[in-house]
Chains A and B, each alone.
Chain A
Amino acid sequence: MDFGINFASILLGGLAAGTVLFIISVGLSVTMGLMGFVNLAHGAFAMFGGYVIVLAMNRAQLGFGVALALGFLVTAALSVGLERLLYRRLYRAGELDQVLFTIGLIFIFIAGITLAVGPESQPISLPAALRGQLNLGFVQYRTYSVFLIVVGLLIVAGIWLAFERTRIGAQIRATVDNRRMAESLGINVDRLFTITFAFGSGIAALGGGLGAEFLGLDPQYALKYLVYFLIAVSVGGLGSVVGVYLASLLLGTLDFVLKLYLPQGGTIFIYALTILLLLWRPQGLLGRKEA
């Protein structure tokens, strides 16, 4: 019985961690699958959004929900600006230029935030309703973690439905599948990119804010967790929402468990597992195989 409770609470902790990873990374997976653009700076958008949300709550005394909405909108707006002005010019460029460009963006974001807000970690205070423990029947667990898991499920369900049921979702799927054909069908691919990019960055902002309590929020955020976002996306498979969800949960749970039992260098297993998995399936768990 004791083992069951332990197991359940570990599982919940891992799922919560994985959910945060998912919320941040899903945007990256979709835009990479859609645009084929190696956007290493995606974590910087999550960081930026997280800062907007946390500062809105701490300094402007805004409510949790309002702050989240603000973070989403401001980050989405910023990403539209960057996409139209800069990203757009590099769509046809080689992978190397894209890597270089996005590394440069990361540095600009980190330096910008350090100069604007300072290098310290930002404190985050959760709204009263989400603090404390929740009685789930078989186990008592942190309310906030359960909240995160539920939000993650809603997001993955929402995005999946949007892909399957809406017209724009169908357009995105068609373009991911075969861009040239989609263009010849009259789909405005440029506008699709911008919308998807904005949405993906906005959701990443939510992830940055929601996950701040768990991952912390300091200017090094964009670099610290970069490898994790990339692992979630490449293991899940570019362009697959369900894929990145599964990969994130797997990665989050594994990391959580390893931190508990092997605090010294448990991450080595994560890297080894990623290598093995990508060698076995280079396209990721649910990614499209290159013809």
Chain B
Amino acid sequence: MSEVSSAVAAPPLAGAAIDHPAARVLIGRHRWRWWEALPWIAALAFYFAFPDYLGFGTQLLVGILFALALDLALGYAGIITLGHAAFFGTGAYTVGLLAFHGIWSEPISGLLLAAAAAAVVGLASGLVLLRTKGLTLLMLTICTMALLQEGANMAHDFTGGFDGLPSLDIAPVLGMFEFNPLYANTQYLYTLAVLWLCFLFVRTLVYSPFGQSLTGIRENMLRMHAVGAPVRRRLVICYVISAAIAGIAGGLWAQTNAYVNLSALDLDRSATVLIILILGGYGRLYGAFIGAVAYMALEHFLARIYPTAWQLELGLLLVLVALFARNGILGLGEGLWRRYHIRSGS
């Protein structure tokens, strides 16, 4: 397992001998930029500015985390899947079953267990599914998720079936901060903290050589084979990490809603997170943030009033994005930025 030890090996620290703008860009790529603080400032501002909307806000943060997980698999490794709810649901049901049956209700360790369970499912399915590609892979991801959903439905004595497991009893975070079902302040800050930690991890991964090789796999898989990269191993590792984070998102969902049901494993959930990610812009760390905010805000306000009109508008939006803006909002932004730079001659 030299792959594991080389994953954390300390690299040489000498400064670059060759100074060239391109080299400088690459060396400094991972440095924090000032605007990267904005989403977190906004999230904290939201906490103070909209105390009545913290329930919605919490679900928004969960949505961002789920989309971030998918971005690893889809945006960076190029694995096209409509079955990611399998991992979200595994995480959700892990937390839900443990809490409902009185086995375990501590939230933080609950999330770790959710991540582990989802990672196991990710490993089992990844080893097997990632030999295929295209429509076959897509079908297999859908079928795996549907299999789990049917399984959860069949075991309804245990899982509550269609109705799910209500009124989950979740212990206070760190023994001190209780989840208040009416006022979601603890849930919001807890979720924000978990999102922040997961984001740090994903960001580190993306800027690492491993992350770069994933991008290589996405851009030209044959070339990666031809430079000696163990492509399948990398894809499986990426898939497992993505599954684990999706599992954490599912676990958070169950904890903050104190409820879990079959919708956690639904095709609809997979499709929605895919839409969110593409709307925001995949393969660009912050696409998950923008996409989730745009989608859930739109849905929150439009779907309540005119659900059918919302579906029609969403459909039109998707068609337009697929035709004209396949890199999402961030992609459009990048395009404008580049055009502005070329015009101003810089």
Contact = CB atoms under 8 A, between A and B. Distances in A.
Interface string B150-181: 11011000000000000000000000000000
B82 A99 contact: yes
B275 A112 contact: no
Given A101-B323, A227-B146, A234 B316 contact: no
A121 interface: no
A275 B143 contact: yes
Given A100-B275, A227-B267, A268-B154, A95 B319 contact: no
A27 B171 CA distance: 54
Contact of B319 (A105, A279, A282): A105
Contacts of A184: none
B117 interface: no
Interface stretch (B128-136, B182-190, B194-202, B244-252): B128-136
Interface string A220-246: 000100010011001000100000000
B300 to A, nearest CB: 18
Contact of A107 (B153, B311, B323): B311
Interface residues of A, number: 45
A162 interface: no
A61 interface: no
Interface stretch (A86-94, A191-199, A206-214): A86-94
Given A115-B312, A227-B267, A230-B142, A265 B150 contact: yes
B229 interface: no
A94 B275 CA distance: 15
Nearest to B143: A271
Contacts of B139: 230-231, 234, 274, 278
B270 to A, nearest CB: 11
Contact of A108 (B267, B315, B323): B315
Contact of A105 (B142, B143, B147, B315): B315
Contacts of B144: 271, 275
B319 A108 contact: yes
Interface of A: 32, 38, 86, 89-90, 93-101, 103-112, 114-115, 119, 223, 227, 230-231, 234, 238, 264-265, 267-268, 271-272, 274-275, 278-279, 282-283
Given A94-B326, A100-B274, A115-B308, 15 more contacts: A95-B138, A96-B282, A100-B318, A100-B326, A104-B315, A107-B314, A110-B311, A111-B311, A119-B308, A265-B153, A268-B147, A271-B146, A274-B139, A278-B140, A279-B131
Interface of B: 74, 80, 82, 128, 131-132, 134-136, 138-140, 142-144, 146-147, 150-151, 153-154, 267, 271, 274-275, 278, 282, 308-309, 311-312, 314-319, 321-323, 326
- Going nearest first, the 7 A-B pairs with the smallest beta carbon separation are A104-B318, A107-B315, A111-B312, A265-B154, A101-B322, A108-B315, A268-B150
